[in-house]
Structure 1
């Protein structure tokens, strides 16, 4: 007999608050990331994971064989802004529980969504090279954070996310797109500067938050199952749009910010406030 899903309980969980300890907040601000256990229940991850997975395979357009793909294409299937594609995906993306954690970690009054993205690393999928996300974003303040939510337990062989501790404060590599070059140059530079790399598995229900300028990477998926991950990027609700500095920021300004004027705040239609005190 099929289990009856209590949708009300799932929605209640997504909007109930998770208390972030002062120690966790201090850790995040010092090291540029935090991993938090038992943030989401297996029931929520199972229900919404199926919805997200279906959308990824419905919307994916990358069908080249693995050997013909670039390093970036081998890293994952990437589907963006699922909240605008599906009402149930929107329930997950707009979770007040997750948005409040983001606000508390950054110490801001509230957060907007920048955009969401599903990242599916297929079996035999390659590495995700070292990079910092904010290279791609025309946002003036460093008050940005990404939540990384594995939709299954993620052992080392599936390529969990790894972080260079305290790297959010350094200027190296801030002009590098994600590539073979960024992997090599940043790996060498981070090693020379003695950055500690935190690379550990994720339990089911464990999620991470990392700052926009924190360098991170992921290993290959050498398991026989896809590594499903959902991410949401949050920004301070009072974030300011800056003049784009590279072609990627020009594209992001158009796609995720609807070309809102430089110097203004993001608009509510594409970038609604998800949590505010």
Structure 2
């Protein structure tokens, strides 16, 4: 693990004051929320260079864009950066961010599933319609992802977009992210009249979405990578469920040694926020 000198960034531990009184109810209704000023531009600037350098160092995708499949064109993907770099760990373990997740989920505490950097290169393709929880062998829907862009993200860079209310729609939950999920879910979203909500992100904005919320992103038509850090949080009391597909069976590796029916209380899944602890 790369050692770093201590960075004087305290915002990560200070509670976020921007949640409206209706935020939890809005999140439950819509399946997502877009929040402004989750982190200051100064804090983003403190961590973006390190995250980017780690993505470059750890990236294993070396095919030219034109030779990749749809998934490969969507983004460069590097997971559990917190285990590689202490500075990235500061961001991933932020009590501020985890506290937002707990409040939106309506739980007293959340633990880490894993983090994931998603970098959409210039001319990178679409991110097909999908729901993240297809991949997660978890016993409830009390889990979510923060999508934290590391630069301003105008529409031409392909910000994340959500089908409002689609987390209550069970069709398509058997689809991995693919050309098939793009075609079938795009049609289903239109047929069900779910609003496809796509908005630009200012620097410091972040979105949070539930595991079963269908979402997608457009191509990056900009000239620089669309750099995004994500963290998946789960109810601290959630349990591992029997996998329903091969991807879920593989994803049990993020919770090593945890049997079906057990809480994933492992060194890789620490509690990041507990509202009962001062």
* TM-score calculated relative to the size of structure 1: 0.96
- 1:1-277 alignment to 2 at 5 Å? 7-8=7-8, 10=9, 12-19=10-17, 20-253=19-252, 255-277=253-275
Report the 3-state secondary structure (helix = DSSP H, G, I; strand = E; otherwise coil) of the residue aligned with 1:22. coil
Q: Distance in 2 between the 1:45 and 1:228 partners?
A: 11
Q: Give 1:7 deviation, angstroms.
A: 2.7
Segments of 4+ moved more than 4 angstroms: none
Distance 2:147 2:246 in 1: 25
Unaligned stretches of 5+ residues in structure 2: none
Post-superposition offset of 1:259? 3.9
Looking at structure 2, the residues matched to 259 and 158 of structure 1 have their Cα atoms a distance apart, in angstroms, of: 39
Distance in 1 (CA, whole Å) between partners of 2:121 and 2:241 is 35
Q: How much is the aligned-residue C-alpha RMSD, in angstroms?
A: 1.1
Gaps of 5+ in 1: none
CA distance in structure 2 between the aligned counterparts of 1:68 and 1:154, rounded to whole angstroms: 26
Work out whether residues 111 and 269 of structure 2, in 8 Å CA contact, stay in contact via their aligned partners in 1: yes
After superposition, the C-alpha distances for 1:76-109 in whole angstroms (9 at most, x for unaligned) are 0000000111111100100000000000000001
Give the drift of 1:6: 9.3
Give the Cα separation in 2 of the matches to 1:70 and 1:105.
35
The answer as to whether partners of 2:164 and 2:197 remain within 8 angstroms in 1 is: yes
Distance 1:172 1:154 in 2: 30
Q: Is the 8 Å Cα contact of residues 141 and 211 (structure 2) preserved in structure 1? A: yes
Deviation at 1:21, TM superposition (A): 1.9
